[in-house]
């Protein structure tokens, strides 16, 4: 890996894994700690593949750990999830790009400050210790719903794209593919701010209705993550931050210019597995979200989907989301769940590892 010069470490870092395999049977049985650095849409398939090889007491980390990971894990793993400790790592440790598949990556930023949610919460000290050993300073955020609602990609990507593409219509083209972050402007950050404040109202309503939730503003969170970056506002947070250099918009080139790529993960992940979750929880606690609705209505039209109808998450494609309604959760009590209330004597001890023969 080649780490950009502002990182510690910087320059070339070499490592040799003990084993690399596409077969979970080769790597999962001996693992006490698993880390899944995956987009939300990859959770179900990955969990299903590793399920037969998971041991009681295993720590299963996911980063950035949003998209309703605890709900998906419960659905895919069933009762086995009660024998595991799952934890969400926010934000993603690395901003990087593959330079040569399986051989080399370019690391723009290695972050050193994290927040985690843990199920069960009694395992938080151990999960924090693991994450600090792997990545850096770590703090606990409380109930896992905080991870699901934390303001990261779903606050940034959809609102930025709405700003850039809201006036685009099929059959027309955009004149350029700008730098996604370095050309950040006030209108983009105004939309982010509006949606984030709606999300904070959702968190306040959850707390008032019995589920303590603390969702920060994205500026405050990322200022904490990037504490060494001088910034005075949201525009500078993105435009002057080395972590965000060089990334273009998810546009595709066509005759005469560019058009938004509605198959890109900034849409296919951050809408159904991001904004739709925020909206679903807002519906449960009765909070109006006019800016969020505007972005969702615009995005679903381009994607050919129907998530919200009449300002409510009740469209025909809700089943493709990971909103709580998708899992049959329609109350605050359902959001709170039972998974984080195991007594210490109910927690699963670590099973001994199964040695995998090596040839």
pLDDT tens for 255-268 read 999 999 999 999 99
Distance CA 222, CA 220 (A): 6
Under the banding of pLDDT at 50, 70 and 90, the label for residue 28 is very high
Query: What is residue 348's predicted lDDT score, i.e. its pLDDT?
Result: 57
Q: Which parts of 83-231 fold into alpha helices (H)?
A: 124-134, 145-149, 153-165, 186-208, 218-225
Q: Which residues pair with 61 in a beta bridge?
A: 35, 87
Query: What is residue 3's predicted lDDT score, i.e. its pLDDT?
Result: 95
- Mean pLDDT over each residue of the chain, to the nearest integer: 93
Query: What is residue 352's predicted lDDT score, i.e. its pLDDT?
Result: 59
Grouping H, G, I as helix, E, B as strand and the rest as coil, residue 271 is helix
Query: What is residue 343's predicted lDDT score, i.e. its pLDDT?
Result: 43
| Share above pLDDT 70 across residues of the chain, in percent, rounded to a whole number | 94
CB 123 within 8 A of CB 347: yes
Strand positions, DSSP E, 261-319: 308-309, 312-313
Query: What is residue 254's predicted lDDT score, i.e. its pLDDT?
Result: 95
How far CA 77 is from CA of 33, 54, 80, 117, in Å, comes to 17, 10, 5, 19
Structural tokens at position 131: 């994450």
Under the banding of pLDDT at 50, 70 and 90, the label for residue 230 is confident
Q: Which parts of 18-94 fold into alpha helices (H)?
A: 24-27, 43-50, 69-77
Query: What is residue 337's predicted lDDT score, i.e. its pLDDT?
Result: 87
Query: What is residue 37's predicted lDDT score, i.e. its pLDDT?
Result: 94
Query: What is residue 338's predicted lDDT score, i.e. its pLDDT?
Result: 55
Under the banding of pLDDT at 50, 70 and 90, the label for residue 355 is low
Please return the burial class of 313, using the count of CB atoms within 10 Å of its CB with bins 0-12, 13-18 and 19+: buried
DSSP 203: H
Is residue 153 over pLDDT 60?
Answer: yes
Residue-wise pLDDT for 49-95, tens only, equals 999 999 999 999 999 888 999 999 999 999 999 999 999 999 999 98
Query: What is residue 340's predicted lDDT score, i.e. its pLDDT?
Result: 47
Distance CA 315, CA 306 (A): 5
Q: Exposure string (b/e) for 246-256, b if CB count within 10 Å is 16 or more?
A: eeebbbeeeee
DSSP 273: I
Distance CA 164, CA 116 (A): 32
Nearest CA among 221, 133, 239 for reference residue 181: 239
Distance CA 269, CA 23 (A): 26
Structural tokens at position 212: 């303590």
Distance CA 98, CA 216 (A): 32
CB 298 within 8 A of CB 166: yes
**Least reliable range by pLDDT among 101-105, 197-201, 287-291:** 101-105
CB 293 within 8 A of CB 265: no
Residues 6+ apart with CB under 8 A from 310: none
Structural tokens at position 31: 């693992």
DSSP 324: G
Distance CA 123, CA 347 (A): 9
Peptide bond into 91 cis (omega under 30): yes
**Residue 183 Cα to chain centre, angstroms:** 23
Nearest CA among 214, 219, 241, 221 for reference residue 230: 241
CB 249 within 8 A of CB 158: no
Query: What is residue 228's predicted lDDT score, i.e. its pLDDT?
Result: 85
């Amino acid at each position: 890996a080649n780490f950009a010069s502002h990182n510690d470490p910087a320059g070339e870092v070499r490592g040799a894994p003990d084993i690399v395999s596409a077969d979970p049977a080769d790597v999962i049985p001996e693992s006490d700690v698993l880390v899944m650095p995956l987009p939300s849409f990859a959770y179900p398939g990955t969990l299903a593949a590793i399920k037969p090889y998971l041991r009681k007491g295993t720590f299963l980390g996911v980063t950035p750990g949003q998209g309703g990971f605890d709900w998906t894990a419960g659905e895919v793993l069933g009762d086995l999830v009660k024998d595991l400790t799952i934890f969400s790592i926010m934000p993603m440790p690395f901003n990087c790009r593959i330079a040569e598949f399986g051989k080399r990556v370019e690391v723009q930023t290695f972050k050193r400050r994290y927040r985690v949610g843990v199920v069960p919460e009694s395992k938080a000290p151990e999960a924090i210790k693991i994450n600090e050993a792997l990545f850096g300073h770590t703090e606990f955020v409380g109930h896992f719903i905080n991870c699901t609602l934390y303001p990261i990609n779903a606050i940034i990507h959809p609102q930025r794209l709405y700003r850039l593409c809201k006036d685009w219509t099929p059959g027309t083209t955009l004149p350029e593919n700008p730098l996604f972050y370095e050309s950040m402007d006030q209108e983009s950050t105004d939309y982010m701010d509006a949606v984030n404040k709606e999300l904070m109202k959702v968190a306040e309503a959850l707390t008032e209705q019995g589920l303590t939730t603390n969702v920060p503003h994205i500026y405050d969170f990322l200022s904490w993550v990037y504490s060494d970056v001088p910034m005075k506002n949201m525009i500078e947070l993105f435009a002057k931050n080395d972590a965000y250099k060089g990334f273009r918009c998810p546009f595709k080139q066509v005759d005469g210019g560019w058009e938004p790529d509605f198959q890109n993960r900034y849409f296919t992940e951050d809408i159904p597995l991001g904004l739709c979750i925020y909206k679903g929880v807002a519906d449960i606690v009765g909070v109006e979200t006019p800016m969020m609705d505007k972005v969702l209505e615009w995005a679903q039209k381009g994607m050919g989907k129907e998530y919200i109808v009449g300002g409510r998450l009740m469209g025909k494609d809700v089943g493709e989301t990971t909103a709580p309604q998708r899992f049959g959760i329609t109350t605050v009590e359902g959001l709170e769940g039972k998974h984080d209330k195991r007594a210490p004597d109910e927690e699963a001890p670590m099973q001994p590892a199964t040695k995998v023969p090596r040839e």
